[in-house]
Structure 1
């Protein structure tokens, strides 16, 4: 009976502690929502400086020509695994073409795809080509020599890398979309950046409290709700582990200490 009570208490504590973690992981992230006005970009930049900003969970389109470099940028936060997809609609008549989707972090370091086909060849007269790249989970901190993905601005570059001379300059249309999965405390590290990596030459300026103008590198920022804080569900599971360890100790003590009285009284006592 005592062991049953101990196990029941352990299961109850596990359910109460796991509740907030499940609710937190199922709640949508601000970075994964579409724009409030429902509008989506219909053009792309031609360089890192002019990259068109898009939100996660939002599809963007652009028209161009084979041989053009198309650039977009998006924010990625700690503990999230971004997935980038691109679809290129090709002209009705064309030869074999190879398209490539590259992803760069805030320091303009090319990020390797964990999986997905970021380079594909479209056969002659194919109507479209589909590309995808699943990045590694964004970390909160990394060694200076490492190329781990860090929070901040990420850039997409879509272009054709191999085609016949007769196909150069043909009109194409592209659609890109960025989504991400919240990995949570499994990817947490003991460290964080002072600020997200939002590099580049200033593209606009804003007026400070003292009236002076300061350069702004991007409109992405913590006020947009995408930059996370210190909390992660790793704290919840650490607490669950502590509770289970304590209950296991209590249960073991209850099983081994006995009734506290000798089972048999010696004769003559």
Structure 2
């Protein structure tokens, strides 16, 4: 009877512990596309157009331009950057490439995806290519990393889209570009013991603010944050599963004691027997 009560209480505690973990791991709905999505791109890191994850940004440019966007990525996220370039009806063979840099302007490697693609010449009897689709799936963003490592860290990320192989005749032809960033929440599987003091959000230097007590504030080149704010880095769902493991170990100890207590004890013989 006592073992049954212990099992029931432990099962209830496990249910309460697992519930928040399941709720946290469920994917959040992507922001709906609206008229507020950016319709232009920057031409350098400092002028990169900010976009939110889940938005589809568009831009009209000329072939040969460097196009820049920036987006925020937090610890535990695995961003996927996708870009589509719509080419003119008549063009020579072109090779387009998408690159992603972190807040320190370190180029981040793609785990997989077509980061570079070549479009066949258009306006030919074979038809050619009317668009180019590129993709880059980054590594999971860590809350902390060794100084010598090149791991992705929380902060601002930059997207650069450009053509890397172009015929002189195509230089300056109009093109339309679309860029979108989505993330998969990896959760506790990517948790590390440590966190950055501040996310890697580039600043333009200190500026003075007037008032009775004049103070200085850093002007940020990127102001967007993740929808839930920057994570502190110490909490993850692995704490829940660690707690569950501890409770299961305690349950095993209680059950083993209840099953084996009294075994091996000498039988008490009544006096005078």
> Are the structure 2 counterparts of residues 96 and 219 from structure 1 closer, same or farther at C-alpha, using a change threshold of 3 Å?
closer
Secondary structure, counterpart of 2:199 in structure 1: coil
User: What residue number does 2:126 align with?
Assistant: none
For the Cα contact (< 8 Å) 1:46–1:70, is it kept in 2?
A: yes
Deviation (angstroms), 1:207: 3.2
> Are the structure 2 counterparts of residues 228 and 258 from structure 1 closer, same or farther at C-alpha, using a change threshold of 3 Å?
same
Deviation (angstroms), 1:260: 8.4
- 1:84-133 Cα distance to aligned partner (Å, 9 max, x none): 11011111111211110000000000000111111111122201111111
User: What residue number does 1:25 align with?
Assistant: 25
For the Cα contact (< 8 Å) 1:65–1:172, is it kept in 2?
A: yes
2:175 is aligned, of 172, 176, 179, to 172
Is 1:79 matched with 2:79?
Answer: no
CA distance in 2, matches of 1:200, 1:99: 30
Is 1:118 matched with 2:122?
Answer: no
* RMSD across aligned positions (CA): 2.9
1:163 is aligned, of 163, 166, 169, to 166
CA distance in 2, matches of 1:46, 1:222: 22
2:94 is aligned, of 94, 97, 109, to 97
2:150 is aligned, of 147, 150, 164, to 147
2:200 is aligned, of 174, 177, 197, to 197
Is 1:62 matched with 2:59?
Answer: yes
- 1:162-215 Cα distance to aligned partner (Å, 9 max, x none): 12222221110000001111111111111111111112545x957377344534
User: What residue number does 2:219 align with?
Assistant: 216
User: What residue number does 1:39 align with?
Assistant: 36
Q: Could you list the runs of 5+ residues in structure 2 that have no partner in the other structure?
A: 123-128
User: What residue number does 1:244 align with?
Assistant: 248
TM-score computed with the length of structure 2 as normaliser: 0.85
CA distance in 1, matches of 2:225, 2:180: 22
Q: Which moved more, 1:239-248 or 1:253-262?
A: 253-262
CA distance in 2, matches of 1:176, 1:257: 67
Secondary structure, counterpart of 2:107 in structure 1: coil
TM-score computed with the length of structure 1 as normaliser: 0.87
Deviation (angstroms), 1:67: 0.7
Secondary structure, counterpart of 1:180 in structure 2: strand
CA distance in 2, matches of 1:7, 1:223: 41
User: What residue number does 1:207 align with?
Assistant: 209
